[in-house]
Chains A and B, each alone.
Chain A
């Protein structure tokens, strides 16, 4: 998204959604909103590969002009955030996009992805190996 086309509130909403998703899931989330070069899926995978830690990263690419949304999960992230959960979040975002709410849909979808990948806290005590 062109920085000039987003209000500060919208930008903050997206940053907050990314932060919440990361806090929930312990995965690294990245959001790219803008034109995809060529085929969106291939471009999303290329961008995902440029991230600091691709295996534990989740990239959400949204191209409003091409009306394309791509979610790419790394090899490690995929274990906790399965493709079916990504598809559900993508459908949720799609319904918001169709209503014209790009930013709201992205924010809700990111938080949904974070919740889906939430790592439950274990209360078990590891027995000592002495």
Chain B
């Protein structure tokens, strides 16, 4: 039997001259065919989920109800300025910047 042909022969038994191998029990066969791949899949899923949780902890979607100020005051208008701002509607006309919606 050539090398190529030997690869095509189903491993129904032990080759002549090889040490005898025990026939696996159905439980061992199930463990090898389903148990180990399942365990690997679970480990991969846990790793992926852990990474997702880590990202979510840093960048979770935010739906605020109370505003947060960083580097500014509370946002309450001073009385004199409030009157001017509320009558003009917008702030300083010389302001610049940008706007986006998503």
Contacts and interface: CB of A to CB of B under 8 A. Distances in A.
Interface of A: 1-3, 5-7, 9-11, 13-15, 18-19, 22, 28-35, 40-42, 44-52, 54, 58-59, 64-65, 67-75, 77-78, 81-83, 86-87, 89-91, 93-94, 96-98, 100-105
Which secondary structure characterizes the binding site on chain A?
helix
Contacts, number: 182
A22 B72 CA distance: 12
A90 B73 contact: no
Interface in B31-64: 55, 57-64
Contacts of A1: 62, 64, 66-68
A103 B77 CA distance: 26
Contacts of B85: 46, 49-50
Contacts of A11: 68, 70
B92 A101 contact: no
B18 interface: no
B95 interface: yes
15 contacts: A1-B66, A5-B64, A11-B68, A11-B70, A30-B71, A32-B72, A35-B65, A42-B91, A48-B95, A50-B73, A64-B61, A70-B97, A86-B96, A103-B60, A104-B59
B73 A52 contact: yes
B64 A90 contact: no
Given A72-B95, A83-B96, A15 B70 contact: yes
Given A46-B85, A49-B81, A65-B63, A40 B99 contact: yes
